[in-house]
Amino acid sequence: MIALRLGWRNLWRNVSRSLITISAIACGFALLIIIIGLVMGIANQMLNNGTSLLLGDVQIHHRNYLPERDLYETLGSGHADNLKELLDKLRHFPELPNLTPRVHAFGLLSSGEYSSGAQLMGVDAESEINVTSFLDGIEEGLIQPPEAQPVLLGDVLAKELSVTKGSKIAIVTQSADGSLGNDLFYVSGILHTGLAHIDRTLAVFTLSDLQKLLAFEPGTIHEIAISIQDPMIADQVVATLNQSALLPSNGIAHSWGDLAPQLKDYIGVVHGLYGFLILLIALFVAAGVLNTMMMSVFERTREIGLINALGMQPRLIISSILFESFFLGFLGLGLGLGLGTLGMSHLTTEGLNLTRWMGEFAMLGSRMDPILKAVWGWDYVVWSAVGLLTSTVLAALFPAMHATRLDPVEALAAPVEG
């Protein structure tokens, strides 16, 4: 207890020195928090790009729908109200406010002169835009089309078919009743994701138009796409969903990680790579703190020698110095957390506007937000706090032991400070 009190008092004997050390730890920790936040922000943005463009974080299908995507493995049936009821039931999950129904098929698109195979996708544009971003800016084409039977085409597909906004195209597909579903559609918009395989093959319809073309009942769909707050917990959400009675009995939920294992791996790489960099930086900050602490204790060789000569137990001296450095570290981390939180509160809400450096750009296919928003990486933050505190205390140990072992005469001969 004496050591603890001595440590606390020592802290305030040389206020400016302590403040410098505290600020060193604080600044290091605050910047580390911000770096972690930015890195997690980048990783998060990449994940969002991957999932929020078209995939969604979670999808529900008939349990036999994947991987063949058989036209007949559907969810729901009958009247459109059945579908609404199904979706409303799922909305009872607090995590699932945003979900949207979809129908998928394969068909032949023809502009007369040219024809091309395409992925046909029927969406409910109004709920789709709350889940994914591929319709951003062109959703009006489906919600308020100037003509009936609108379709949005990928830009490469549109070019291949030599059509533009306003053209009419014919769509032919195998309907569920075996007949040849065919109809004329009005190209009400061109979509560009930057992802070649989407821009080359995707044609988007309103849910009811595609259901009609496929001879589906208005309550029949293939897929429910869901976006959740934190994509990283998608697996947990899926586990709960699959055990829940609210899920249609023939349905099964999949997380983005199951649906796009490559994306999962990519996020893994980003985390791994940046985790490595965070480790390097944390080590650097620890080394900086170590330096400051060592310097501050070494400067006090004379003082420690004096106390030693006065007969204070070396163990007590060492533990009081360790407590002192613990307080330094603790205060530094506290202050750093405060500063870091201050910075993060700006970066998580306002974000870092990168437009000045990079201009407008698309990344991994989507119109990427040029504003980088930081995200708290709590596990990294906690681990670096532990690491920093340890290195602070350890940094004091060596010079303290060194000073107590010195012959008092030798220690007193150390240059006068200050």
Partner 1 sequence: MIVVVKIAWRNLWRKPRRTILTVVTIALGLALLLVVFGIGDGARSQIVESAVRIRSGHVVVQQREYNARRGIDRFLDSHETQLVKEWIATMEEVFPIQYIVSRSYASGLASSSNGSAGVQLIGIDPKAESKSLYLEDKVVEGVFLDSVSQNKVVLGEGVAQRLSLKVGEKLVLMAQASGSSEIKSQLVRIQGILKTGIEEYDQTLVLMLLPNFQSFLNLEKGVHQIAIVMNDATFSTELSSRGKERFPSIEVLSWEEAMPDLADLIRVDTGANYVFDFVLLLLISFTVLNTLLMSVLERGREFALLNALGLTPSKRFFMILYEATFMAMLASVVGGTIGYGLHQCLKFYGLPIDLFYSEGVSAAGVAMDPIIYSNLSMGRILFSLSLIFIMTLGLGLIPAWRARRPTNIHILGRV
Partner 2 sequence: MIVTPTSSLTGQQDFSQLTPAEIVDQVDQMMRGDSSRGTIQMTVKTQRWSRALTLEIWSEGTEKVLVKVKKPKKEEGVASLKIDSDMWNYLPKIDRTIRVPTSMMMGFWMGSHFTNDDLVKRSRLTRDYDIEISYEGAKESVLVWEFVLTPRPDAPVVWGKIHYQVRKEDLMPTWAAYYGEDGQRKRTMNFSDYQKMGGRLVPAKIRMAPEDKPNEYTEITYINLEFDLAVDQSIFSLASLRRKR
Residue 185 forms beta bridges with which residues?
Answer: 169
288 forms part of the interface with partner 1 (CB under 8 A):
yes
Q: Is 167 in the site for partner 2 (CB under 8 A)?
A: no
Question: Which residue number, 47 or 71, has a Cβ lying nearer to partner 2?
Answer: 71
Q: Would you tell me how many other CB atoms lie within 10 Å of the CB of residue 22?
A: 22
User: How many CB atoms neighbour CB 235 within 10 A?
Assistant: 16
- 280 binding partner (options partner 1, partner 2, none; Cβ < 5 to 8 Å by kind): partner 1
Is 97 among the residues that bind partner 1 (CB under 8 A)?
Answer: no
Q: Which of 16, 179, 243, 349 binds partner 2 (CB under 8 A)?
A: 179
Q: Which of 14/182 has CB closer to partner 2? A: 182
Does residue 217 bind partner 2 (CB under 8 A)? no
Is the sign of the CA dihedral 196, 197, 198, 203 positive or negative? positive
* Distance (Å, whole) CA 287 – CA 280: 10
287 belongs to the binding site for partner 1 (CB under 8 A): yes
Tell me which residue has tokens 């201050």: 342
Neighbouring C-beta atoms of residue 70, cutoff 10 Å: 12
Q: Is 375 in the site for partner 1 (CB under 8 A)?
A: no
Q: How many CB atoms lie within 10 A of CB 83?
A: 23
> Exposed/middle/buried for 209, CB within 10 Å: 0-12, 13-18, 19+?
buried
DSSP assignment string, 350-361: T-EE-HHHH-S-
Name which of partner 1, partner 2, none residue 176 binds, using a CB cut-off of 5 to 8 Å depending on partner kind.
partner 2
If DSSP codes are grouped into helix, strand and coil, which group holds residue 118? strand
List 137, 166, 261, 338, residue binding partner 1 (CB under 8 A): 261
Residues near partner 1 (CB under 8 A): 16-17, 20-21, 23-24, 27-28, 31-32, 34-35, 38-39, 42, 117, 156, 159-160, 194-197, 261-262, 264-266, 268-269, 271-273, 275-277, 280-281, 284-285, 287-288, 291-292, 294-296, 298-299, 352, 354, 357-358, 361-365, 368, 372, 416-418
Which residues of the chain form contacts with partner 2 (CB under 8 A)? 72, 108, 110, 112, 115-117, 170, 172, 174, 176-180, 182-184
